Structure 1
Amino acid sequence: MQWTRAQISIIAVVAVTSFMGTFLISSVNIALPAIERDFGLDAVSLSWVITSFLLATAMFLLPVGRLGDLKGVRRLFKFGVLVFTLSSLACGLAPSGFWLILFRYVQGVGAAFTSTTGPAILVSAFLPRHRGRVLGLAVSAVYLGLAFGPFAGGLLTQYLGWRSIFLVATFFGGIAVLVAYLFLGKDEMRQEKPAQIAFGGTIFYMLGLVALVYGSAHIDKPLGWLLMGAGSFALLGFWWMESRSTAPVIDTRLFTRNRLFAFSNLAALINYSATFAIVFLLSLYLQKIQSLSPRDAGTILIAQPIMMAIFSPLAGRLSDRIQPRYLATLGMSMCTLGLGAFAFLAESTPIGLIVALLVWVGLGFAFFSSPNMNTIMSSVDKSQYGLASGSAATMRVLGQIVSMTIATLFFAAMLGGEAVEQVSDALFLKVVKWGFISFSLISVLGIYFSYNRGQIKR
């Protein structure tokens, strides 16, 4: 297969933006202690350095996806790259914790624009038989960001300071802006008049997400549960309004009448809900129970995303030839077994076994993710590519939030508000055990949706 210069440019700019989004998530986690010292932030404020980015991304993914289908995905992608790059520079120059959190929110908005429109641009630029391959390359870039982030973030923070992470992101973002505006081209002219969008329900969607995320940060208090309940009702109100709107942001019929689309999105939500907190729990386990340094713990944790990065393109290519549901179900089953095995972690668990389990789960995630994304994008009409990619990205971010909420719930319920360093090893291992048991049970449900989604019609 020979690609044109335009196609190579599209793959390059989408891959760079996909890499930078996850690179920042994983590298900033390593830099949090340094940020805390510089700005004197408390624990809750410090958590919002991460949460504000995820929240903004989740809030804007669906609206941007729908807007891209109507106004043009390439135009919105360029705007998103520019916002992401400028906000990265602002983060690196932030004078206080408040401004850093605010700029991180803006950065999340830019990431929402690029992560929603990027896959739509890819699938529209390549023949259907090559979708799995190019989507696999984009997914591989995501996992390379996750793998490279902790190591590079640690080195940058130690030798150049935490601000250098955002300045590096600004440099790569500048390259992406240059390539996007020079080679990405313009959207195809539409003959018909663009439809209007009713954004009224989106207000309920955004408010619901804010209430859920803020409530999950206070899950050990009645206010937290009240906010999460209010957020759930707001999201139900959003769904009700969208179902009855003549110009909805999201076509709810895709979820009620398109089983392939609906089940694939549910499988993605479940997979991320079950697997995202793995690194969070294992990072604490390796440093508290195994007494490893942050550098050594980060080196071990690289095993999982490296497998994702290596095998995602292969799984994507296979999904062009084999029905994706078989590959995705295999991957989900592997993740389920790995999560169940992590529930038996003990003080004497060999490091080699932990690495082997991370390799196993990483391989399973690779076989799930690319074929699942291929299914989502292949289950809709070309005019709905933006909505489909936005929906898939929304499932990813919501799954990440759910996964961290479950982990937080066990910490709040079993540790009684104490710091991890202060509790006994036995009690901490109990938290880890029940966390992984919960994740493995959730993942079993994902196997059902993954297998019963149906077949792609080539």
Structure 2
Amino acid sequence: MKSVNDKRLVLIIICMTAFTTPFLTTSVNIALPTINTDFAVPDQALLNWLVTGYLLTAAIFVVPFGHIADRYGLKKVFVTGLVVIVVSSILCAMSSSILMLIASRAIEGVGSAMIFGTSLAILTSAYPLKERGKVLGINMAVMYGGLSLGPSLGGFITHFGSWRLIYAGIALYALVVALLASWKIADEGPIAKTGRFDLSGTVLYGAVLVSLILGLSSLQETIGVALFGLGLVLMAVFFWWEMRHTNPVLKVSVFRKNKVFMFSNLAALINYSANGAVAFMLSLYLQKIYGFDALTAGLILIVQTVLMAVFSPMTGKLSDRLEPRIVASAGMSICAIGLVLFAMLSPGTPLWLVVASLMFLGIGIAFFASPNTNAIMSSVEKSEYAMASSMVSTMRMIGGILGLGITNLIFTYFMGHAEIPATGPYDLLMKSIQVAFAVMAGLCIVGVGLSLARGNLRKAEATQIAHPIKKP
């Protein structure tokens, strides 16, 4: 894409899409109590599947759809994903039962997987190496904006209208983006060589993620440990199969041969794991220990995502000038400081220190995420962009689930399976929070080492020319 205006239109379209999925997740979370009342849900576990079902399908299909995009074209899969979001959101808005809503959300996860596997690839193709960090940072800022606005805007729509209007609005919004993408993003056609589709690898990949995600979500139980163990065994089988397949769904060879790509993805997994349960633990701390209501606690937690949104474009641009390894490692170090401060929380910790720790974490994630994504996307060839885009989303989703799984395991160790009491004392809850944050801080320190170990990105890429996405 040679025209500056064309590049900017691509950026606008991808950013519009980046807002959709995080907004859907956080806005619907705030509406769960109302959904529960409307459908008179007989089992509260069904409510959890509104979130888990979406995450499962998105995680399972993101890599296969990245592979499919290489075979049939990035634009085709991207626009199809938006259409699936439109249809599934309409089905969500029209749902007559909790089971229909869960199924519709799962379909929405499939659409999101199509977008996750192609959006960063399209954006990376449109911009030269020297500008990628900046635009990836802008894209990430919009994503964090969706996370920030989701609870407040979703709560407003639910309170004054209906949770169904959230889905109706997303359907209309996604339709507009789909039309823009069809109009302004040209289809370059297949990138990879055609060949027999790796159906066995795709099934194995799905089985690995189902086992790991379900296992991580219930590590405190025997079945969870068994599922997690099964996932590790299946993962070994999957890697063995992929290394022998001529057209693998996941190019494992890239991890073996590309040090920057491998360590950047490992650093991402660690970072998202270390920060995946922060909102959960701080929400409990602010409401149970401090005595704030849910609205006040939510407003305090927004400090982190706002700073992430504000600083991401700046840090992304910084990674265009400095080695992403340096900027991302500095960000991970700042995250570690914030997590150490949280590990020192007590019932008497002043609120200003809680907010200051949140600010450390928000700035740290901003310094890590955009440069690290820049490193991942810029370390591979154009034929591997879709795979790299898929891995960015996979690390984020698996990391978040891993963080929650570790946290649940720690909480169960100290508190057993008993519910958190409505009134104090909260000594065991406080101890659980302190230990969990200490473990997460340790993870983050390990992540700093992995981030530094990736090596320098810009040895041969300094003169790389951007691959056009739209023909003149």
Structure-1-length-normalised TM-score? 0.96
**Alignment correspondent of 1:203:** 203
**Alignment correspondent of 1:347:** 347
Partner-residue secondary structure (3-state), 1:420: coil
Aligned 1:268-347 pairs, distance under 5 A: 268-347=268-347
AA aligned to 2:427 is: A
Q: Deviations over 1:242-282 (max 9, x none)?
A: 11111111111111111110000000000000002111111
Q: Deviations over 1:100-119 (max 9, x none)?
A: 11111111111111122001
AA aligned to 1:166 is: Y
Q: Deviations over 1:119-147 (max 9, x none)?
A: 10011111221111111111111111111
Residues 201, 237 of structure 1: 8 Å contact kept = no
AA aligned to 1:331 is: G
**Alignment correspondent of 1:114:** 115
Residues 71, 193 of structure 2: 8 Å contact kept = no
**Alignment correspondent of 1:223:** 223
**Alignment correspondent of 1:141:** 142
CA apart distance, 1:214:
2.4
Write the distance in 1 (CA, Å) between the matches of 2:235 and 2:39.
35
Partner-residue secondary structure (3-state), 1:320: helix
Partner-residue secondary structure (3-state), 1:302: helix
CA apart distance, 1:60:
1.0
Gaps of 5+ in 2: 463-472
Write the distance in 2 (CA, Å) between the matches of 1:372 and 1:93.
40
Residues 154, 295 of structure 1: 8 Å contact kept = no
Greater alpha carbon shift after TM alignment, 216-225 vs 360-369: 216-225
Residues 202, 238 of structure 1: 8 Å contact kept = no
Aligned 1:124-163 pairs, distance under 5 A: 124-163=125-164
CA apart distance, 1:415:
2.3
Residues 325, 371 of structure 1: 8 Å contact kept = yes
Greater alpha carbon shift after TM alignment, 409-418 vs 334-343: 409-418
Greater alpha carbon shift after TM alignment, 95-104 vs 166-175: 166-175
CA apart distance, 1:224:
2.1
The 1:175–1:412 alpha-carbon spacing in structure 2 relative to 1, beyond 3 Å, is same
Partner-residue secondary structure (3-state), 2:347: coil
Write the distance in 1 (CA, Å) between the matches of 2:193 and 2:440.
47
The 1:3–1:400 alpha-carbon spacing in structure 2 relative to 1, beyond 3 Å, is farther
Runs of 4+ residues over 4 Å off in structure 1: none
Greater alpha carbon shift after TM alignment, 46-55 vs 216-225: 216-225
CA apart distance, 1:390:
0.8
**Alignment correspondent of 2:29:** 29
The 1:137–1:260 alpha-carbon spacing in structure 2 relative to 1, beyond 3 Å, is same
**Alignment correspondent of 1:410:** 410
AA aligned to 1:158 is: H
CA apart distance, 1:189:
6.6
Write the distance in 1 (CA, Å) between the matches of 2:24 and 2:418.
29
**Alignment correspondent of 1:68:** 69
The 1:193–1:69 alpha-carbon spacing in structure 2 relative to 1, beyond 3 Å, is closer
Residues 263, 450 of structure 1: 8 Å contact kept = yes
CA RMSD in angstroms comes to 1.7
Structure-2-length-normalised TM-score? 0.93
Gaps of 5+ in 1: none
Q: Deviations over 1:173-201 (max 9, x none)?
A: 122112112222222476x8534332212
**Alignment correspondent of 2:249:** 249
Residues 331, 363 of structure 1: 8 Å contact kept = yes
**Alignment correspondent of 2:470:** none
Aligned residues: 456
Residues 74, 187 of structure 2: 8 Å contact kept = no
